[in-house]
Amino acid sequence: MALFTANRRLLRLLGLILVLGIVAAFTGPGLLAGRKMQQARNSMFDGRYSDAIVLLADAESWKAPTGETAFLRARCFRQLADAENMKLALRQAAELGFDRKRLITEQTLYLAQVGDLDKVGTQLPILLLNGGDDLPVICEAFANGFLANYQITDAVQILNAWVADFPADPRPHAGIGLIHKNAGEFTLAAAAFREALKLDPDRILVRLQLSEVRMEQHLYGEALAETLKVCRVAPENVFALTIQGRAQHYSGLTDDALRSLKQAVKIKPTNLKAMLALAQLHNDTERFTAAIELLQRCMLEEPFNVDVRSAIGTALRGVGKTEEASLHFHYCAEASEAHSRIRTNLDKISRDGRHVEARFETGELMMKYGSPAEATAWLKSALRLEPSYVPAHQALAGHYRESGQVAAAREHEAAVLILKKSQESMSQVAPSEVSSKHSSQQLPGLRQPAQHNDSTVNRD
């Protein structure tokens, strides 16, 4: 009898295990997929979009792709400015039945984010009125678009609206901090970054931005304290180690600085900021040969970087190569004059966002004395405002030719030919005939410039 009872208990236990196994088989993948989705959302909130894409792929490995996962992946690609993969993900989301209105909104946000506000600026009030849970994302995209067009006042206005509607969200405070930091308003930048960290102390990038501001303020002890907080949770963060090494360097802790910066370069040998900081330390300790080796690698990455040029000039002079050093110092002097002119242009643009000539000259100067990517963006912004502006087409055609982007070069070269032919034909038409035509007639193959519309956040 006892044996029979024991067998019945064993059978019940086996049955329970079998049932649980069946339940787990059906619910386990869904639970795991849901957990990965939540982790992906958290990563997106923190601005870690590449991590989010990996997590979304993990979610789809446990459960078949849905319109939601495809849409979130599209949003990540948009934030990373990867237009092609964004379009593919949006197409997949549409095929899987995701809300069409939200897909169209996401395409609008991409255009806003890259600064093409002539096309989508008028949609901002409608999006803000009907945005729902996507309001922060809408504010962020348009703020980035305003910044891309150097419409600082509009960017700050929309970030302030974001703060008012979502007071617990640290992201608009971080955005305001970056604007102040880039403008050299370090006290205001520090206050904004501290506010963001008060709301979310775990935002590593914001803490590192604050530490960079402290470096600019020569508050090296505070900068070091912030980077040490980051290094405790992320000991291999190259950005943190670089700022930490710089803070140690300027605090007179040379040996500590050398260890921090060598570790940063070891972790990521191609990181320009880490290499430059280590080279500057080598210069100050008269290890000029070691500095030159690092700075030559920096020159391959950013030959336009004035800090790199100044450092390599110092190192070359240190080893007796004064003539070669003088070439770099001469470049630095020319760049200083160019950047003074750029600041004048930026002041003009801040007062008149549609100042095409100032945008063009800024792009032209930055092509020689700044980042080619930024230069290209400025030249394109001039063309967004005035598609028939020949000098911008010529500058872009030349840049694309030099960088081997033949198709893009041909596009701008073709635009120049069309515009010049049009100008020649117009010059041959009698004045009376010209006045009878609409001066705004669109040229073949070129988009008509939109009328100016100051995008503002309308609040009750």
Q: What is the CATH number of the domain that holds 420?
A: 1.25.40.10
> Has residue 396 been placed in a domain?
yes
Residues 6+ apart with CB under 8 A from 152: 146, 179, 183, 350
The total of structural domains in the chain comes to 1
How many whole angstroms separate alpha carbon 412 and alpha carbon 382? 13
> Has residue 244 been placed in a domain?
no
How many whole angstroms separate alpha carbon 418 and alpha carbon 413? 9
Q: Is the pLDDT of residue 444 over 70?
A: no
Is 3 or 341 the better-scoring residue by pLDDT?
Answer: 341
Closest among 272, 273, 242, 277 to 260, alpha carbons compared: 242
What is the Cα gyration radius of the chain?
Answer: 28
According to the model, what pLDDT value does residue 117 have?
A: 84
Contact 298, 308 (CB under 8 A): yes
> Has residue 57 been placed in a domain?
no
According to the model, what pLDDT value does residue 409 have?
A: 95
> Has residue 378 been placed in a domain?
yes
According to the model, what pLDDT value does residue 111 have?
A: 92
Q: Is the pLDDT of residue 448 over 50?
A: no
SS3 28: helix
> Has residue 387 been placed in a domain?
yes
According to the model, what pLDDT value does residue 263 have?
A: 98
Max CA separation in the chain (angstroms): 118
> Has residue 101 been placed in a domain?
no
Contact 74, 54 (CB under 8 A): no
> Has residue 14 been placed in a domain?
no
**Parent domain of 409:** 349-424
> Has residue 98 been placed in a domain?
no
Q: What is the pLDDT of residues 58-104, one digit of tens each?
A: 988 878 889 999 999 999 999 998 999 999 999 999 999 999 999 99
Q: Is the pLDDT of residue 265 over 70?
A: yes
Q: Read off the pLDDT of each residue in 360-381 and give the average, rounded to a whole number.
A: 94
Closest among 389, 447, 372, 375 to 116, alpha carbons compared: 447
User: What is the residue-averaged pLDDT of the chain?
Assistant: 87
